[in-house]
């Protein structure tokens, strides 16, 4: 069955653009549209989409409130509705509010079409996705709240990661994309993707967001020491 998507944005032209992009993927199906948060909740109840592509800044009931309302309504259901939040700003209170409300992913509206399609696929599959630029700023904002481990990461003698995988994980924790990591380490992007997959499998992690948290909690990356830098 194709992944069903509900588009929520107060601008008809924006919704039309998203529809054109998503419908180029045969496994995605746009089943409906809504122009504000109140209508979005009503349409979710009618259509039970797999993914809601949610604009955050809308008049009336905004995307943050709509996300919370939709997920609260859907929680008792057997059908899992996932919200992919969209905004023109890389990090603001709306973005943070959407993540707190339970959005599974966060993407910028100017993301390339392939990235938008890929994000919908990832979210529909149950994983989280956050635009690399947003992830870098989230780390910058919240890393002081994480424990500052002064010593080297502890290992019990059975560290499952190779030295190369440690390098890749450190860069993932900085919010770098696969392409950026590949360029920095002089590797192919497919090779980096393979390393990231191995890291998640070996550590029993679900997605890149969990990998970032693991890197900080384990001391592999220390708050204030390994924050994003220009590259």
pLDDT in tens, 194-211: 999 899 899 988 777 778
Same-domain pairing of 65 and 117: yes
My answer on whether 107 and 189 are in the same domain is no
Residue numbers of the domain that contains 161: 146-217
Task: Tell me, yes or no, whether 42 and 65 share the same domain.
Answer: yes
pTM of the predicted structure, to 2 decimals: 0.66
- Please give the pLDDT value at position 108: 86
Q: Give the residue from 83, 114, 135 where a domain finishes.
A: 135
Instruction: HSE, CB side, 13 Å, CA atoms: give it for residue 148.
Output: 10
Residue 223 included in any domain: no
As beta bridge partners, residue 51 has 5, 82
Whether 226 is in a domain gets the answer no
Q: Which residues contact 61 (CB under 8 A, 6 or more apart)?
A: 36, 37, 38, 40, 41, 69
Residue with tokens 């994480």: 146
Question: Is 96 part of a structural domain of the chain?
Answer: yes
* Cβ-proximal residues to 189 (8 Å cutoff; 6+ apart), any chain: 178, 179, 182
Residue 162, in any domain of the structure: yes
At residue 46, the pLDDT reads 95
Beta bridge partners of 31: none
pLDDT digits 0-9 by tens, 141-184: 655 555 554 444 444 456 789 999 999 998 888 777 788 888 99
The pLDDT, as a whole number, for residue 230 is 42
Tokens in use for 112?
């390339």
What value, to the nearest 5°, has the Cα angle with vertex 212 and ends 208 and 218? Answer: 135
Query: Does residue 140 fall inside a structural domain?
Result: no
| Cα–Cα nearest to 110, from 92, 126, 131 | 131
CA–CA distances in Å: residue 187 to residues 115, 164, 180, 184, 229: 21, 11, 10, 8, 20
Domain annotation covers residue 175 = yes
pLDDT of residue 223: 55
Q: Per the structure, how many domains does the chain have?
A: 2
Which residues in 1-21 are b (16+ Cβ under 10 Å) and which e? eebbbbbbbbeeeebebbeeb
What pLDDT is attached to residue 228? 44
Residues of the chain with pLDDT under 70: 90-92, 132-158, 222-231
Do 66 and 8 have their domain in common? Answer: yes
The answer to whether position 225 is within a domain reads no
């Amino acid at each position: 069955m194709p992944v069903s998507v509900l588009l929520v944005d107060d601008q008809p032209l924006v919704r039309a653009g998203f529809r054109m992009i998503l419908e180029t993927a045969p496994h995605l199906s746009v089943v409906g549209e809504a122009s504000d948060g109140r209508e979005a909740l009503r349409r979710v109840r009618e259509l039970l989409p797999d993914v809601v592509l949610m604009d955050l800044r809308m008049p009336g009931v905004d995307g943050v409130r709509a996300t919370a309302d939709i997920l609260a309504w859907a929680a008792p259901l057997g059908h899992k509705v996932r919200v992919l939040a969209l905004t023109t700003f890389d990090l603001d209170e709306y973005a943070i509010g959407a993540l707190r409300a339970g959005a599974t992913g966060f993407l910028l509206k100017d993301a390339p079409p392939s990235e938008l399609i890929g994000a919908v696929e990832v979210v529909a599959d149950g994983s989280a996705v956050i635009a690399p630029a947003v992830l870098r700023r989230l780390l910058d904002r919240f890393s002081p709240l994480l424990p500052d481990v002064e010593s080297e990461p502890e290992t019990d003698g059975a560290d499952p990661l190779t030295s190369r995988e440690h390098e890749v994980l450190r860069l993932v924790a900085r919010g770098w994309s696969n392409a950026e990591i590949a360029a920095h380490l002089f590797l192919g992007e497919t090779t980096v993707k393979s390393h990231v997959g191995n890291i998640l499998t070996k550590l029993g992690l679900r997605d890149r967001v969990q990998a970032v948290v693991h890197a900080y909690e384990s001391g592999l990356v220390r708050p204030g020491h390994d924050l994003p830098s220009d590259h």
